[in-house]
Structure 1
Amino acid sequence: MTTILVTGGTGTLGRLVTERLRADGREVRVLSRHTQPYAVDLREGGSGLDAAAEGVDTIVHCASTPRGGDERAATNLVAAARRAQVGHLVYISIVGVDRVPFGYYRTKHTVERLIEESGLGWTVLRTTQFHDLLVQLFQGLAKSPVMPLPAGVRDQPIEVREVAARLAELATGAPVGRTDDMGGPEVRTFKSLAQAYLAATGRRRLLTNVPLWGAAYRGFRDGGHLAPDQAVGKGTFEEYLERRFGRR
């Protein structure tokens, strides 16, 4: 039976990938910093990582953090995969990592290149942002009576369950390199998304558009993080909000 290792297997995406693979009858190992028997910090590597990769056919690399360390983690993971002769490494990335000069995006792009140059069979899937990331952003912005929004920026959020299903499909197939991007069903203004969030949570806030500065802001304003030609997602932001907060 094929054995699949999911890094970040207890996170928002990794947990759903694990559930989907197991529901399909796959043997899955979950790697995270605090989950036995494969409690491993990828940034440190070591014998625990080698044990997790031993006998594995495919690795789905979902572990990531904007707080830093992704490049070191990927380097350690690739080295362990080589030693274990893993046949397929699947990586989840973000639409626009090669177009928007934002720090976290640059890191994700570097990890893509590490995987492409690893000598392993590889697949990279880029998607637009998950619905829950927008909610996290709006929760922070809504702490003030006036809710500032980046002027001129749109977004195309996607349902994380759909991404998990696609990753599980890719993990059980042969390496394909850069596969088609996945975008959410709608490209929306930040104002319309914020209004949907406020309606779903029963809050009242004054919305104001704030022009920002810098190359990263210009990249987002120009839509470098969007995939309008790959709007393959089905679940809308409003459907996610209703599921999370209930109907109002």
Structure 2
Amino acid sequence: MKTILVTGSTGTLGRHVEARLRADGHEVRGLSRHARPYAVDLHEGGAGLDTALAGVDTVVHCASSPRGGDERAARNLIAGARRSGAGHLVYISIVGVDRVPLGYYRTKLAVERLFEESGLGWTVLRATQFHDLVAAVLGAAARLPVLAVPAGVSDQPVEVTEVAARLAALAAGAPAGRVPDMGGPEVRTFPDLARAYLRATGRRRPVVSVPLAGKAYRGFRAGGHLAPEHAVGRGTFEEFLERRPNG
């Protein structure tokens, strides 16, 4: 069994990774800005990070924010891992970070490269979007009388607990570099996902496909964020919606 640090341990993914690792018998430390005893802001690093990393074998890096700062946080984490002697960094990334020119995707790709160039053992797993994110996007859109979705865009949502299980297995093993992508079981059009969301929540809205502009949108239309050849997930969007409180 290993001593494993999970960053972003209170987040959508990190909490499931931590739980799975504990269930598998590992000693796990959960790190986030507010979770004691390892309450650390990775953007700052410092003594708290060194304390959290002392004696750690593997780091699973789940902390991330579309608001920025991921590269700085990764640099601090890598420097701390070098100081502590941690031998394995595991990073969760997103399918399409090298194909869709979205700012957040570029940042995720940059962090991948920081791990690859760290001089430490590393593993990177790219996954498609979680069911949670798709439901949140559709829920926000459904507040209006018409549910608008991007025209010509599909998605391949995956169950977060399945990604957590895969990350836990990777953390328990040796550094593996870039491993095969992990996609949800189905590629679905956004109108199809929107109608599934409306059925599950008992709402009635017209679903309208709206064309957008820009390079990122073209990347999504081209399916750069999809991994149909790696549709290894099992849980469907409808099954996720059935488990959610209030649909």
TM-score range, shorter chain: over 0.9
Give runs of aligned pairs for residues 125-136 of structure 1, distance below 5 A.
125-136=125-136
- Structure-2 separation of matches of 1:180 and 1:207: 34
- AA of the residue aligned to 1:128: T
Q: Deviations over 1:37-80 (max 9, x none)?
A: 11000011111001111110000000001011101000000000
2:70 aligned with 1:70 = yes
2:190 aligned with 1:190 = yes
Residues 200 and 245 in structure 1, CA contact (< 8 A), matched pair in contact too? no
- AA of the residue aligned to 1:87: G
2:46 aligned with 1:46 = yes
What's the offset of the Cα at 1:34?
A: 0.4
What's the offset of the Cα at 1:245?
A: 4.2
- AA of the residue aligned to 1:17: V
SS in 2 for 1:12: coil
Aligned to 2:199: 199
Give the total of aligned pairs.
247
Give runs of aligned pairs for residues 1-248 of structure 1, distance below 5 A.
1-245=1-245
Residues 40 and 49 in structure 1, CA contact (< 8 A), matched pair in contact too? yes
- AA of the residue aligned to 2:241: L
> What's the RMSD between the two structures over aligned residues?
0.9
Q: Deviations over 1:175-219 (max 9, x none)?
A: 000000000000000000000000000001111111000000000
Residues 148 and 209 in structure 1, CA contact (< 8 A), matched pair in contact too? yes
- Structure-2 separation of matches of 1:175 and 1:48: 26
What's the offset of the Cα at 1:8?
A: 0.5
- Structure-1 separation of matches of 2:46 and 2:151: 46
TM-score (norm 2): 0.99
What's the offset of the Cα at 1:156?
A: 0.1
SS in 1 for 2:244: helix
- AA of the residue aligned to 1:24: D
- AA of the residue aligned to 1:238: E
Following TM superposition, where does structure 1 have runs of at least 4 consecutive aligned residues deviating by more than 4 angstroms? none
Q: Deviations over 1:1-41 (max 9, x none)?
A: 52000000111111111111101110000100001111000
- Structure-1 separation of matches of 2:35 and 2:238: 33
- Structure-1 separation of matches of 2:85 and 2:245: 45
| Gaps in structure 2 of 5+ consecutive residues | none
What's the offset of the Cα at 1:85?
A: 1.1
Residues 201 and 245 in structure 1, CA contact (< 8 A), matched pair in contact too? no
SS in 1 for 2:232: coil
What's the offset of the Cα at 1:139?
A: 1.1
Q: Deviations over 1:209-234 (max 9, x none)?
A: 11000000000000000000000000
- Structure-1 separation of matches of 2:194 and 2:229: 24
Identity of aligned residues (%): 73
Q: Deviations over 1:135-165 (max 9, x none)?
A: 1101111111011110000000000010000
